[in-house]
Amino acid sequence: MGLKEVLEVSKPRIIVLLVITAVTSMYAASILIAHKPLDNVVLFHLIVAGALSSAGSSALNHFYDRDIDPLMKRTSTRPIPSGRMAARSVLVYGLAVSCISVVYAWFTLNPVSTFFIALGIFFYVIIYTVWLKRNNWSNIVIGGFAGSCASMAGWAAATGSMDILGALVGMLVFVWTPSHFWCLAMKIRDDYAEAKVPMLPVLIGMQKTSKYILLNTAILLPYSIALVAFGLGYVYLGVALVSGGLMLVYHYKLTKTPTSDFAWKAYKVTAPYLTIIFVGIALDAAFHFPVIK
């Protein structure tokens, strides 16, 4: 077991994505709600606690999925199925880092932010990985709330509470997740079928899944735009229209070509959306021109 394996079970790309949502949410809440400059000390603690919670959750996901990972090409070379890490080591690492993240947050952040960090771990590990992933097609829909918790933790780190705008911003992750993940599920449908994981393309086929993706994106776009009614401005509105509109175009095309190859193209368009929209929220706070005054 080396650093490479530890990083692999920690899923660094997910860590980066969730830390970006947390940091941009904290910055926006500092400017728009708390009306004060960003507290760099609190920001540092948020990054550490958020990164640790994401790493620990991901490791526990690796541990729990150790029986189905060898059945899927995408996951067969992960540290546990490839024999590069012992399952027990991954379990101990995941539990330790998850617990440390919550304890660290408790002593360095406020109770509301700590609550959302703990809730994110619970949702990803227990609700998604253990309960829903292998039992119900809604697995990724409901499990997507784990990502929302990162944004809400960041928002609460700046404000000490959770207001309507903070909750709505956080739920952007929840609403985006099905469009994003179902595209990936279409790409690796055969893998999920082999592992008997009830992802939507396995249950209802590629054509119907593409329509559900389009429907979800058709909900995401107006939802994202509606946030201007709660205080976001023209900078955010422009970003939401362009990024959401591009997703909608590709997901419409996916319904016409519901193949694994085009699903992969749509996935690549969908993947950057979260970073773009949250950076847009931060930029909107920095250069704020409210739509509704």
The pLDDT, as a whole number, for residue 2 is 83
Q: Which regions of the chain are under pLDDT 50?
A: none
Task: Give the DSSP per-residue string, 171-189.
Answer: HHHHHHHHHHHHHHHHHTH
Contact 232, 155 (CB under 8 A): no
Residue burial 182-201, b: 16+ Cβ < 10 Å; e: rest:
bbbbbbbbebbbebebbbbb
Torsion angle (degrees, nearest 10) of CA 264, 66, 176, 50:
-130
What pLDDT does residue 259 have? Answer: 97
* Cα gap 128→19, rounded to integer Å: 20
| pLDDT, tens digit (0-9, with 9 covering 90-100), for 162-220 | 999 999 999 999 999 999 999 999 999 999 999 999 999 999 999 999 999 999 999 99
Distance separating alpha carbons of residues 261 and 257, to the nearest angstrom: 9
- pLDDT, one tens digit per residue, over 31-50 is 999 999 999 999 999 999 99
CB 91 within 8 A of CB 132: no
Q: Compute how many other C-beta atoms are within 10 angstroms of the C-beta atom of residue 2.
A: 10
Question: Is 225 within 8 Å of 248 (Cβ atoms)?
Answer: no
Which domains are delineated in the chain? 1-159 (1.10.357.140), 163-292 (1.20.120)
* Residue 44 to residue 49: CA distance in whole angstroms: 9
pLDDT at position 124 is 97
| Number of alpha carbons in the 13 Å side-chain half-sphere of residue 6 | 8
Q: How far apart are CA 63 and CA 88, in angstroms?
A: 8
Residue 292's pLDDT is 87
